[in-house]
């Protein structure tokens, strides 16, 4: 009999109170970083305990004695499909939820509904959360620097640094009389002159603002970027294609200089 602890929430951190592994099993937990190299090696996976995060890509499947969740462990690229068996039936888990699981790899044939070609994890502890919850920020840099021009007001609100990604949050207010274009395709971070384009995040938790902002409306949201070390010095956030249809905006109009050390005040 497997005892499963289930946690719900938004922006959850790694759960505690882990059920000890057996003495014969390796003591090192397999994590997302090791999963790609061991994913197809059944002998290496058998009986191993895991600490995995994933995004559920289909509706939960009811099984005899429990529930099966199928999730992408590489949820940025929809790869490394893995089954997670939860003893008993639970509410509150649905497609596109993010999950953080502590458990043990078992024989996929032990659950009839499991895909035998993918690893199966017997869940000991499960946190249902969102993208921010499975990639918690190690540092949050509050900026709150506003730039205004021609009826548009854009605030660089904050920047979150996690091990796997950087998240930039903005708010865009349209004080003009026509629709304001604010598509993330023109948002980038510049590190030492190297431009890094924004990525539209997949899954719950980091929602970008609407790309077309109606007059009198403020849109807020976030964008994802590849990870980098905030200790590396100041960097630039630039939004090149933000503006009204009737005007040609300069690429130098919406530019913020950010210094994580705090020695330079965030400015535009």
Report which of residues 75 and 15 the model is more confident about: 75
179, two tokens:
């629709």
Q: Which helix (H) or strand (E) holds 130?
A: none
Report the distance separating Cα 49 and Cα 38, nearest Å: 13
Hunting for tokens 């021009």 — which residue is that? 149
171, two tokens:
């708010």
Instruction: Return the closest-CA partner of residue 182 out of 240, 257, 258, 226.
Output: 240
Q: What is the mean pLDDT of residues 165-187?
A: 94
Domains annotated for the chain, with CATH where assigned, are: 5-134 (2.40.50.140), 139-258 (2.60.40.4170)
Question: How much of the chain is in helix, strand and coil states, percent to nearest 5?
Answer: 10, 45, 50
Q: What is the mean pLDDT of residues 154-160?
A: 96
Instruction: Return the closest-CA partner of residue 219 out of 252, 242, 202.
Output: 242
Question: If you ran DSSP here, which 8-state letter would residue 263 be given?
Answer: S
pLDDT of 183: 92
Is pTM beyond 0.85? Reply is: no
Helices and strands: H and E segment counts in the chain:
3, 19
pLDDT of 195: 94
Rounded to the nearest angstrom, the gap between the alpha carbon of residue 171 and the centroid of all alpha carbons in its chain is: 19
Q: pLDDT tens digit string along 187-218?
A: 999 998 899 999 877 788 889 999 999 999 99
pLDDT of 123: 96
Beta strand residue intervals within 93-186, DSSP E: 98-106, 120-129, 139-149, 152-161, 166-174, 180-181
- 19, pLDDT greater than 70: no
- By the 8 A CB rule, do 152 and 172 touch? yes
Is the four-CA dihedral 134, 127, 116, 96 of positive or negative sign? Answer: negative
Confidence bin at 143 (pLDDT 50/70/90): very high
- 54, pLDDT greater than 80: yes
Q: Is 208 helix (H, G, I), strand (E, B) or coil?
A: coil
- 57, pLDDT greater than 90: yes
Report the distance separating Cα 210 and Cα 218, nearest Å: 10
- 249, pLDDT greater than 70: no
Report the distance separating Cα 93 and Cα 60, nearest Å: 7
Q: pLDDT tens digit string along 31-51?
A: 999 999 999 887 778 899 999
pLDDT of 203: 80
């Amino acid at each position: 009999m497997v005892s499963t602890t289930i946690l719900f929430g938004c922006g959850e951190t790694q759960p505690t109170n882990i059920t000890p592994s057996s003495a014969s099993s390796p003591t090192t937990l397999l994590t997302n970083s090791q999963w790609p190299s061991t994913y197809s090696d059944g002998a290496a996976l058998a009986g191993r305990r895991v600490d995995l995060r994933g995004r559920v890509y289909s509706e939960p499947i009811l099984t005899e004695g429990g529930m099966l969740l199928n999730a992408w462990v590489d949820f940025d690229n929809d790869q490394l499909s893995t089954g997670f068996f939860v003893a008993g039936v639970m509410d509150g888990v649905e497609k596109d939820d993010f999950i953080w699981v502590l458990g043990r790899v078992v024989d996929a044939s032990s659950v009839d509904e499991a895909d035998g070609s993918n690893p199966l994890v017997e869940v000991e502890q499960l946190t249902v959360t969102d993208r921010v919850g499975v990639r918690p920020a190690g540092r949050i840099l509050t900026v709150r620097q506003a730039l205004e021009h021609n009826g548009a007001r854009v605030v660089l609100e904050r920047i979150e640094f996690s091990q796997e990604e950087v998240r930039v949050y903005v708010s865009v207010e349209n004080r003009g009389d026509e629709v304001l274009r604010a598509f993330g395709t023109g948002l980038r971070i510049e590190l030492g002159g190297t431009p890094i384009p924004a990525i539209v995040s997949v899954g719950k938790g980091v929602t970008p603002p609407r790309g077309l902002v109606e007059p009198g409306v403020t849109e807020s949201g976030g964008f994802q970027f590849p990870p980098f070390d905030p200790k590396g010095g100041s960097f630039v956030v630039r939004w090149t294609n933000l503006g009204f249809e009737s005007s040609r905006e300069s690429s130098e109009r919406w530019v913020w200089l950010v210094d994580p050390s705090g020695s330079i005040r965030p400015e535009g």
